[in-house]
Amino acid sequence: MLKGFRQFIMRGNVIDLAVAVVIGAAFGAVVSAFVTNIVTPLISATVGKPDFSAFYFTANGAVISYGTFLNALVSFLLIAAAVYFFMVAPMNAWKARAARNAAPADPTSKKCPECLSEIPIAARRCAFCTSALPAA
């Protein structure tokens, strides 16, 4: 039982996920500090309030503070933008650059000349229309 657990833990994707969570938490702290120390003062200079948490309204005696939601939304959008521009976009560009030099993969299927269905490359008869195929 412990051997199976050890194999599960030592699989690459579990360790990769653990590393991603730790790096994500650290990255979240950096972006949170960026939002708190740079973006919020810029918003304060523009709007006149240090953050949106003071924005609320009262409906039937219930206080609805939509400002905290706006703060969380701004923080989320900045984190998402930072992840995209600093991680996803460069990785996609790197993969595209690496794929330019890679040889194309050998085809695994072909079209049947009679019904134009996709069939395996080694097939001698079409599974869809049962027509005999020419030898490769």
Sketch the domain layout of the chain as residue ranges. 2-100, 106-136
Q: What angle (nearest 5°) sits at the alpha carbon of residue 93, between those of residues 90 and 94?
A: 85
Q: What is the Cα–Cα distance from 124 to 27, expressed in whole angstroms?
A: 55
Are 127 and 119 a contacting pair, CB within 8 Å?
yes
Q: Each residue's pLDDT tens digit in the chain (136 positions)? A: 788 877 777 776 777 888 889 888 888 788 778 777 887 778 778 877 667 778 888 999 999 988 888 888 887 887 788 778 888 899 999 989 888 887 778 888 999 998 999 999 888 899 889 888 887 6
- pTM value? 0.51
Tell me, what DSSP letter sits at residue 130? -
First-last CA distance in the chain = 51
Residue 62: what pLDDT? 92
54: Cβ contacts below 8 Å, ≥ 6 apart: 67
- CATH class of the domain at 2-100: mainly alpha
Distances (CA, A) of 32 to 1, 18, 89, 90: 42, 21, 21, 22
